[in-house]
Chain A
Amino acid sequence: MKEYHFISKIVLKSTVKKIKEKTTYLGMDNYNYGYAYLYFRLIISILLFLTLFIFTKKGFFVGPIAVVFFYYFSEYVFFDLPKKRRKKILEKDGEEFFWILSLILKKETRLITALKKTCNDLPNNALTKEFLLCLEKVSVGKPLFDALEEMQKRIPSEKINEIIVLLMYQDIKTVKNKLVYHVNLLRKNNIDENKHQLEYFPLELIFLSLIFYIIFFLLLYFGPKFIMNYMLK
């Protein structure tokens, strides 16, 4: 059944398509989140424009700028940031998932049973949810190739998509040999990313400490002066 939403008659069709793509990247089969976001953005931007236009002196100038800023910034907050976060989580969990898969494939000959076993071993992994959905479709009657192709659209990470392509096209023997290489690649990528974060961490620490130090010494310096001038008179 096709979903009918009134918002699709108002907004450009290309934006609806874009938002649908972005909702799939967040791992959702429903597009309700995307449509709700479109309603939210339209209503809030209209309200923001009206309030700025009516209640401020230079509203004709400030209003449009604020609305345009909100229009793009909200998309960043609701879609791009969660996508980045999801990518990081998937790459971190994917390392463990495919490592276990490579271990199981040493004794297992069928790919589907190996995937089922890894899903059983790692119930809290982020990738198991995706693979279980894929395996459910396979059990109904869909070929594994198509199910994996559908799953590929839900995952924002390129490195994991490469491995899924490997599972789609190659035989078990080549998968066994190449999976170890890909797991090492993921591991190296994760460690490099962690290093990048660690290098910036001292800067964040120093900024935090500066804010606190300023509060601390302002209170120490101006506290007695304030008491001398105002409280004791």
Chain B
Amino acid sequence: MQKGLLFILIEWIVLFFLIVLILILIRQRRIAKYEKRFRSFSLTKDNDTTSSIFDLLYVAFWKIVHIISDILNKIPLINKMNKFYDNLVNRFKPIRNGLDVIVLKLIVSCGLCIICLAWKFPILNKLGIISYVILFIIGFMLPDLVFNIILERKKRKVEEELNYSIMILNQYLEKNNSIVQSLKLTIEKLQNPVKEEFEQIYKDVSYGVSIVDAFNRFYERLHSKKIKEIIFMLEFSLKENYSIKDAFKELEEKREKINELSSNNIELVKKIRRLKQAIGIIPLIIFIILYKLQGNYFELLFTTSFGRLIVLLIVLSYVMFLLLLIHFEVEE
């Protein structure tokens, strides 16, 4: 690997940041020392109002993103991009509008390009400018992938614990509490991320939104079928003069019976998901091993024009395969 000018510059920048970080750490250590000394005399022991270093970095990064997006927001044509990525706005706190997401994507893709320019990977040098275009596109798509994975995980966790939360809600409803009261009481017994969602529902209801609409908002945040069932039961109870208490009781009975019968299916689905991940990653691992063992054999693929066409074909077929894997979703 050759060391270019850019590489040395990035090295210096990283060193500078490391020194700054160490200085902040020394300052934080001093604060911690004083806190420890006055801890036994203070009334609010667990109320830690100071922010940690990673907190500061996180806030600073988003501040930069917000400043750039505010500048871009004043340009009339780019202003219309605010409407994109509407589904992410309610779910992640620092994201205010669609332009924030686009700025984040641009930062990630530019960073990826600069890092690869500095390191000078042998494969990238052979491909030329096309490789940087591909890297830019990959960087632009990367945040989408990360957001989707986070949301999918959250959705799965919520679905797993939704039965439990309905059970608790039902218990409080049976003791003749109103639904708002029982929502407030169930929140104390839940854990994240279900707790967050229920807190949001309680907030909506306390501001004056109807219960059905609050659950509808919950459905819009994570598109899950199990939430749709709850909404249906609530609407059903309103239509047919059925009390909410009875409706939730019936729903709980139904979910219990389904859980009894489909306990094997849930395990099977988990195994299939793992198998999917393994099948998706194996070709990449095998290619890396082959390239490390006999890199000279594959050099023709990157240097000649026909070889590049073959590389493009391989990448396209791999992407097709991954999309097919994602498309074949299984249900419990």
Query: A191 to B242, Cβ gap below 8 A?
Result: no
Partner of A198, one of B265, B297, B306, B317: B265
Does chain B have a CB within 8 A of A33?
no
B239 at the interface (CB under 8 A from A): yes
Contact with A along B263-277 (1 / 0, CB 8 A): 011001101100110
Residues of chain A from 186 to 222 with CB closer than 8 A to chain B in the complex: 187-188, 191, 194-195, 198-199, 201-202, 204-206, 208-209, 212-213, 215-217, 219-220
List CB contacts (< 8 Å) of B209-265 with chain A. 236, 239-242, 250, 254, 257-258, 261-262, 264-265
Taking the nearest CB of chain A, how far is it from the CB of B329, in angstroms? 11
Segment of A99-107, A132-140, A147-155 in the binding face? A99-107
Interface-side segment among B4-12, B125-133, B158-166, B307-315? B307-315
A9 vs B261: C-alpha distance when bound (angstroms)? 53
Interface of A is mostly: helix
Q: Are B265 and A195 in contact (CB under 8 A)?
A: yes
Q: Are B264 and A223 in contact (CB under 8 A)?
A: no
List chain B residues, Cβ under 8 A from A209: 279, 321
Interface size range on B against A: 35 or more
| Docked-complex contact B264 and A195, CB < 8 angstroms | yes
Chain A residue contacts of B307, Cβ below 8 A: 223-224, 227
Give complex CA distance A107, B301 in Å.
Answer: 74
B313/A202 in contact, CB under 8 A: no
The contact of A216 among B250, B318, B330, B331, by CB within 8 Å, is B318
Q: Within 8 Å CB of B123, what residues of A?
A: none
Within 8 Å of chain A (Cβ to Cβ): is B22? Answer: no
Contacts of A228 in B (CB 8 A): 300
Residues of A within 8 A of B298 (CB): 220, 224
A-B contact pairs, 12 of them (CB 8 A): A191-B262, A194-B262, A201-B328, A202-B271, A205-B325, A213-B282, A217-B286, A223-B301, A227-B300, A227-B304, A231-B306, A232-B304
